[in-house]
C-alpha cells in the first residue's frame, strides 16, 4: 500500500491563470493510478478527468492545445500528463457553472489561481460554485512556471528557441536552445497588456515597466478597423497585408535614409501616418490595416523591451504570452528588432508554451515541491 | 538609434541678438560677426544690388553672402516635416527711406503678402499670437512671424515662389526637416531655388535655446502645469530655462524623437517612437471619419476613453490596456466616435509619456521639455504628460512645455542663415 504523503494535495490538480482575455488552465492527469486508488475514487473526479482528457474542445470556445501536452511528467511523486487548456475570460461564468454542476466543491481541493481574474472572479467562484480560490501573484507564477517547463523540457525537446539570422528573410531559421544559467534575463510578457520584468534569480526579480499597448490593443483595434472578430481572423488578415501603405516611412519624409542618425528609409517614422490623407485611406485594404496594427504594436513592444534591456544591462530577452500564439509575424519582427537595433548585442528568445506559464506556476504552488528530474 | 554624441563645430553664441540679461562688451554689440566687415553700408549695398552672374559663381556668391556679410532679405527659416511645413519670416521694421527706395518690387510684395494676411490659400496659417515683436536679429530690428501649412500643399507654395520670382532675390533658403531632402529637387526645378539643407535636430535645439532666451515680455516661453489632474486647481505656471542642462527634449511631430541635451553643442538622439502625432491623426481619421487634427481633438475632448480601454480595475492584475474592450462586439457597438478619439489620444500620449520616463530615468535627467505640433491646441495631451511624468516618477520628473511648440526647427534654420556654424 502506498503511503500517501499528507503533504500531497488531493486530486484533481489544476493551475489557473485568469487573464484579461484568456483563461489558461493546466491539468495534471495522473497515469499511475493503482487499481486500489481507482476503486476509492469518487465519481465526479473520474468524470472530470474523462471529460478533460477525452475532448480537445469544450463548449464553443474551450480548446485543449494537444500539441503542448507534456507526457510522462513526474510531479510531486506522481507520474502523469500535463494538459494545456484555454478559453476566453468572457466564458468564465459558464466555466464556473460547470464547476458547480460537476460538484467540484465536494472534492475539497484548493483551486490555485493567478492573474487579475483571480481577484475579479473570486466572489463568483464562491457564490456560484462554492469554491475558494487561492490567489497568487501572476508574476511570481510566471517565473516559476517558466523555469519549471524549461527544466523538464518539452517531451525531450528544448522548450526554448531563437531565430538565427533574423534580419535575413532567406536564411532566417528557428533554432532550439536551453535557458541554462538563465539569469539575468529580461522577461517580456505580452498578454492583453505587457509587463517587462528583470529577473536576477528565481526569487529575485522586479517589474521594470509595462505598456498598455499589448495583445488586447492589437485585437481591439483590428476589430474596429477591419470588422474581424477573433484573434485568428486578425492574424490571417495581417499575414496578407502590407503595412507600408498605411505607415509613413522615413523615406516618405526624407526621400531616402535619415543617415545622420542611422535611420533607414524603410524604417517607420509615423505609424498610420498615411491615414490622414483621404486618397490613401481609400486605397488601402483591411489586410493592410490589420498588418499595420500588428506591426505597430509589435515594434512598440520591441522598442520598449530594447530600452529596458539596455538600461538593465541584460542581453537576453525572453518573450512570452499569448499574443505570440500562432503569430510568426510578430515573433520574427521581435527577433529582428532586438538584433538589428542592438547591432547583434541582444538576443530574443521564445518559449513553446507561450502563455501558459502563469497557470503552471499556480499548479506548482499547489504542489509546493520541485519535480523529480 | 545608436549613440550619437553629436558635437556642433561652432562654439559661437549668437551674440548680436536681442539682448538678454548681461551687459555686453564691444564684441557683442549688434553688427559684430567673426568674419564680417563692421560696416552697415556695405552690408545693405550687398543686399540691394544683385548683379547677374553665372550659376557657379551665383552659388559661390550665395555661400559667401551667408558667411561673410549679413544675408540679403528676405530672411526665412523653413522646417519641412512629415505633415506640416513650418516657416518663420523676419519682417524688418527699421527700413530706412533709402533702403526702401532701393528695394526690388518682389521683395516688397512678399513682405506685404506675408504680413497683411493671416491665412494663405486654403490651408496656410500665420499664428499671430506667436509673433515676436521688436526682435533684434543680426543688427536689424523687426517682427518674427510664424507660419504653417500642410506639407501636402508644398507644390502650391513652390508655384507661388516661382510666380513671385523668389529665385531672383538670390537669397539662401535654409531648410530643415525630412522634406528639405525629399523636395530639394522640386525646389530647384519648380522655382529655381537652392536649399541649404540642415539637420532637423541641430536646428531644433538651436531654436529652442534661442527663443527661450529672447522672449522677455508677455507670457513666459517655457511653462509647466501645477496640479495637472485636478481640473479646479490645474494652472499653467511660468518656468525659466536658465541652466537648462541636462535636458531631455521630446519632439512630438508625425513621429517622435527623444534627445538628451548636455550643452548647446553636445546632444544625442536617445531614441524615438513611430507612434506620434501622425498615428493619432491617422487612427482618428480611420476610426471616426474626421479629417483634420482640430476635428480629432474636438471629438477627443468630448469622449471618454474608459469605455474603450480596459482599466486596471476591470482586469485587475494585468495592466491597464488600451482598446482592450473593443474585442467585444457589444462593447464596440456601445462606444461613440468621441470615445474612440479620446482613447486614441490617451493611448498615444501615455505611450510617449511612458517611453519618455524610461529615457529620463536612464539618462538621469529630471527635466523633460515637450515640443512639436502634436501639442498644438492640445491641452489634454499636455496635462496627461504632465501628470504622467509627475505621478510615475513620484514627483522627480518635471514636464515642461514651450509656447512656440513646433516652430523651433524653422527658427534654428533661420539662425543658421544668419549665423552659419
Is B273 close to A300, i.e. CB distance below 8 A? yes
SS3 track for B375-393: HCCCHHHHHHHHHHHHHHC
Confidence grade of residue A237 (pLDDT, cut at 50, 70, 90): very high
Interface residue of A89, A135, A188, A253 to substitute, partner B, most B CBs within 10 Å: A253
Give A261's contacts in chain B (Cβ within 8 Å): 1, 4, 201, 269
Across A184-238, the runs of DSSP E, i.e. the strands, are 185-190, 194-201, 204-211
Is residue A371 a contact partner of residue A153, using CB atoms and an 8 Å limit? Answer: no
User: Among all residues of chain B, which has the CA nearest to that of A337?
Assistant: B1
Q: Which of B309, B340, B358 sits opposite A307 (nearest CB)?
A: B358
Lowest mean pLDDT among A170-174, A332-336, A358-362: A170-174
Q: Which of B81, B274, B328 sits opposite A271 (nearest CB)?
A: B274
**pLDDT given for residue B43 in this prediction:** 36
Residues 16-75 of B with CB under 8 A from A: none
**pLDDT given for residue B60 in this prediction:** 52
Is residue B352 a contact partner of residue B250, using CB atoms and an 8 Å limit? Answer: yes
From the candidates A6, A36, A138, A279, give the one annotated as an active-site residue: A138
Contact residues for B102 (Cβ-Cβ < 8 A; gap 6+):
B44, B48, B49
Give A262's contacts in chain B (Cβ within 8 Å): 1-2, 4
SS3 track for B297-342: HHHHHHCCHHHCCECHHHHCCCCCECCHHHHCHHHHHHCCHHHHHH
**pLDDT given for residue A172 in this prediction:** 87
Is A311 close to B269, i.e. CB distance below 8 A? no
**What's the predicted TM-score (pTM) here?**
0.85
Query: How many angstroms away from the CA of B125 is the closest CA of chain A?
Result: 19
pLDDT mean across residues, chain A: 92
Give A245's contacts in chain B (Cβ within 8 Å): none
Radius of gyration (Cα) for chain A, nearest Å?
22
Query: How many angstroms away from the CA of B350 is the closest CA of chain A?
Result: 9
Is B4 close to A191, i.e. CB distance below 8 A? no
More confident residue, A8 or A124: A124
Is A273 close to B255, i.e. CB distance below 8 A? yes
Give, in order, the Cα–Cα distances in Å from A167 to each of A162, A164, A317: 13, 9, 17
Classified as helix, coil or strand, B292 is coil
Q: Please count the residues of chain B.
A: 421
Of residues A314, A300, A311, the one with CA closest to residue A345: A314
DSSP B170: -
Radius of gyration (Cα) for chain B, nearest Å?
23
User: Among all residues of chain B, which has the CA nearest to that of A195?
Assistant: B319
Kindly state the cell numbers that stand for B148: 504653417
More confident residue, B42 or A31: A31
Query: How many angstroms away from the CA of A226 is the closest CA of chain B?
Result: 10
User: Among all residues of chain B, which has the CA nearest to that of A273?
Assistant: B278
Residue whose C-alpha cell is 521683395? B107
Of residues B353, B250, B174, B6, the one with CA closest to residue A262: B6
- The pLDDT tens digits for B50-70 are 333 344 455 555 554 444 578
Contact residues for A305 (Cβ-Cβ < 8 A; gap 6+):
A186, A188, A196, A317, A319, A334, A338
Is A303 close to B355, i.e. CB distance below 8 A? yes
Give B181's contacts in chain A (Cβ within 8 Å): 254-256
Q: Which of A20, A21, A270 sits opposite B279 (nearest CB)?
A: A270
Angle among Cα A309, A249, B406 to the nearest 5 degrees reads 85
Where is A373: in which H helix or E strand? none
Catalytic residue flag (residue A138): yes
Is B351 close to A212, i.e. CB distance below 8 A? yes
Q: Please tell me if residue B326 touches chain A, with a CB cutoff of 8 Å.
A: yes
The parts of chain B modelled with pLDDT lower than 70 are 1-68, 216-217, 305-322
Is A311 close to B361, i.e. CB distance below 8 A? yes
Is A271 close to B184, i.e. CB distance below 8 A? no
Confidence grade of residue A362 (pLDDT, cut at 50, 70, 90): very high
**pLDDT given for residue B5 in this prediction:** 34
Is A195 close to B319, i.e. CB distance below 8 A? yes
Of residues A269, A178, A210, the one with CA closest to residue B178: A269
Is A117 close to B281, i.e. CB distance below 8 A? no
Half-sphere exposure of A45 (CA within 13 A, CB side): 19
Confidence grade of residue A166 (pLDDT, cut at 50, 70, 90): confident
Q: Compute the distance between CA of residue B197 and CA of residue B226 in angstroms, rounded to an integer.
A: 40
Kindly state the cell numbers that stand for B186: 522640386
Q: Please tell me if residue B309 touches chain A, with a CB cutoff of 8 Å.
A: yes
Q: Please tell me if residue B189 touches chain A, with a CB cutoff of 8 Å.
A: no
Query: How many angstroms away from the CA of B157 is the closest CA of chain A?
Result: 17
Q: Which of B277, B317, B354 sits opposite A119 (nearest CB)?
A: B317
Farthest CA pair distance, chain A: 80
Of residues B264, B149, B150, the one with CA closest to residue B203: B264
Give B351's contacts in chain A (Cβ within 8 Å): 211-213, 300
Q: Compute the distance between CA of residue B290 and CA of residue B273 in angstroms, rounded to an integer.
A: 24
Interface residue of B284, B324, B334, B352 to substitute, partner A, most A CBs within 10 Å: B324
Is B274 close to A268, i.e. CB distance below 8 A? yes
Q: Compute the distance between CA of residue A44 and CA of residue A225 in angstroms, rounded to an integer.
A: 46
Of residues A371, A364, A352, A363, the one with CA closest to residue A68: A352
Kindly state the cell numbers that stand for A29: 492527469
Query: How many angstroms away from the CA of A69 is the closest CA of chain B?
Result: 26
Classified as helix, coil or strand, A246 is coil
Burial bucket for residue B336 (CB in 10 Å: 0-12, 13-18, 19+): middle
Amino acid at each position: 500500500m502506498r503511503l500517501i504523503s499528507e503533504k500531497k494535495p488531493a486530486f484533481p490538480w489544476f493551475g489557473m491563470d485568469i487573464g484579461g482575455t484568456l483563461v489558461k488552465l493546466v491539468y495534471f492527469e495522473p497515469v499511475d493510478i493503482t487499481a486500489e486508488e481507482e476503486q476509492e475514487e469518487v465519481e465526479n473526479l473520474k468524470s472530470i478527468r474523462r471529460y478533460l482528457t477525452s475532448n480537445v474542445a469544450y463548449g464553443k470556445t474551450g480548446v485543449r492545445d494537444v500539441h503542448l501536452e507534456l507526457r510522462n511528467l513526474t510531479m510531486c511523486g506522481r507520474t502523469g500528463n500535463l494538459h494545456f487548456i484555454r478559453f476566453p475570460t468572457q466564458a468564465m461564468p459558464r466555466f464556473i457553472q460547470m464547476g458547480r454542476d460537476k460538484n467540484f466543491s465536494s472534492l475539497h481541493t484548493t483551486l490555485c489561481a493567478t492573474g487579475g481574474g483571480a481577484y475579479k472572479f473570486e466572489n463568483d467562484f464562491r457564490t456560484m460554485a462554492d469554491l475558494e480560490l487561492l490567489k497568487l501573484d501572476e508574476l511570481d507564477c510566471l517565473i516559476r512556471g517558466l523555469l519549471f517547463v524549461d527544466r523538464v523540457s518539452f517531451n525531450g525537446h528544448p522548450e526554448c528557441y531563437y531565430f538565427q539570422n533574423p534580419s535575413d528573410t532567406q536564411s532566417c531559421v528557428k533554432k532550439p536552445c536551453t535557458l541554462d544559467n538563465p539569469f539575468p534575463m529580461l522577461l517580456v510578457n505580452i498578454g492583453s497588456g505587457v509587463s517587462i520584468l528583470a529577473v536576477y534569480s528565481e526569487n529575485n526579480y522586479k517589474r521594470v515597466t509595462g505598456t498598455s499597448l499589448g495583445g488586447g490593443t492589437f485585437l481591439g483595434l483590428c476589430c474596429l478597423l477591419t470588422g474581424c472578430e477573433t484573434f485568428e481572423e486578425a492574424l490571417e488578415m495581417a499575414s496578407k497585408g502590407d503595412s507600408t501603405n498605411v505607415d509613413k516611412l522615413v523615406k516618405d519624409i526624407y526621400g531616402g535614409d535619415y543617415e545622420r542618425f542611422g535611420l533607414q528609409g524603410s524604417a517607420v517614422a509615423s505609424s498610420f501616418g498615411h491615414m490622414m490623407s483621404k486618397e490613401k485611406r481609400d486605397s488601402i485594404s483591411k489586410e493592410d490595416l490589420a498588418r499595420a496594427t500588428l506591426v505597430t504594436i509589435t515594434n512598440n513592444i520591441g522598442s520598449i523591451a530594447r530600452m529596458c534591456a539596455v538600461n538593465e544591462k541584460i542581453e537576453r530577452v525572453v518573450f512570452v504570452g499569448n499574443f505570440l500564439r500562432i503569430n510568426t509575424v510578430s515573433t520574427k519582427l521581435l527577433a529582428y528588432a532586438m538584433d538589428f537595433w542592438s547591432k547583434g548585442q541582444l538576443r530574443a528568445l521564445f518559449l513553446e508554451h507561450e502563455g501558459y506559464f502563469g497557470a503552471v506556476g499556480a499548479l506548482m504552488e499547489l504542489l509546493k515541491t520541485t519535480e523529480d528530474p | 538609434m545608436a549613440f550619437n554624441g553629436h558635437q556642433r563645430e561652432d562654439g559661437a553664441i549668437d551674440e548680436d541678438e536681442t539682448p538678454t540679461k548681461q551687459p555686453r562688451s564691444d564684441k557683442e554689440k549688434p553688427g559684430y560677426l567673426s568674419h564680417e566687415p563692421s560696416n552697415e553700408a556695405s552690408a545693405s549695398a550687398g543686399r540691394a544690388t544683385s548683379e547677374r552672374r553665372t550659376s557657379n559663381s551665383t552659388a559661390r556668391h550665395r555661400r559667401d553672402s551667408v558667411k561673410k556679410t549679413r544675408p540679403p532679405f528676405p530672411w526665412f527659416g523653413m522646417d519641412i516635416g512629415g505633415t506640416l511645413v513650418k516657416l518663420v519670416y523676419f519682417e524688418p521694421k527699421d527700413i530706412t527711406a533709402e533702403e526702401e527706395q532701393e528695394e526690388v518690387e518682389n521683395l516688397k510684395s512678399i513682405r506685404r503678402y506675408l504680413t497683411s494676411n493671416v491665412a494663405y490659400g486654403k490651408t496656410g496659417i500665420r499664428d499671430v499670437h506667436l509673433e515676436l515683436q521688436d526682435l533684434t536679429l543680426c543688427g536689424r530690428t523687426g517682427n518674427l512671424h510664424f507660419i504653417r501649412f500642410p506639407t501636402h500643399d508644398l507644390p502650391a507654395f513652390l508655384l507661388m515662389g516661382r510666380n513671385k520670382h523668389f529665385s531672383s532675390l538670390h537669397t539662401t533658403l535654409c531648410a530643415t526637416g525630412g522634406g528639405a531632402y525629399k523636395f530639394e529637387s522640386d525646389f530647384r526645378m519648380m522655382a529655381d531655388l537652392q536649399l541649404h539643407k540642415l539637420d532637423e535636430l541641430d536646428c531644433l535645439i538651436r531654436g529652442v535655446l534661442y527663443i527661450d532666451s529672447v522672449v522677455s515680455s508677455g507670457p513666459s516661453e517655457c511653462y509647466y502645469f501645477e496640479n495637472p489632474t485636478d481640473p479646479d486647481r490645474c494652472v499653467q505656471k511660468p518656468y525659466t530655462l536658465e541652466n537648462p542642462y541636462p535636458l531631455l527634449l521630446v519632439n512630438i511631430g508625425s513621429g517622435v524623437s527623444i534627445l538628451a541635451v548636455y550643452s548647446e553643442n553636445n546632444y544625442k538622439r536617445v531614441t524615438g517612437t513611430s507612434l506620434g502625432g501622425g498615428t493619432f491623426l491617422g487612427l482618428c481619421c480611420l476610426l471616426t471619419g474626421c479629417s483634420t487634427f482640430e476635428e480629432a481633438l474636438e471629438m477627443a475632448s468630448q469622449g471618454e476613453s474608459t469605455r474603450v480601454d480596459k482599466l486596471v480595475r476591470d482586469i485587475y492584475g494585468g495592466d491597464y490596456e488600451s482598446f482592450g474592450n473593443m474585442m467585444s462586439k457589444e462593447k464596440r457597438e456601445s462606444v461613440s466616435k468621441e470615445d474612440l478619439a479620446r482613447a486614441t489620444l490617451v493611448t498615444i500620449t501615455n505611450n510617449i509619456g511612458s517611453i519618455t520616463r524610461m529615457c529620463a530615468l536612464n539618462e538621469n535627467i529630471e527635466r523633460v521639455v515637450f515640443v512639436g505640433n502634436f501639442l498644438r491646441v492640445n491641452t489634454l495631451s499636455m496635462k496627461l504628460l504632465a501628470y504622467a511624468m509627475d505621478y510615475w516618477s513620484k514627483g522627480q520628473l518635471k514636464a515642461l512645455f514651450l509656447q512656440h511648440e513646433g516652430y523651433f526647427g524653422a527658427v534654428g534654420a533661420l539662425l543658421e542663415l544668419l549665423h552659419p556654424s
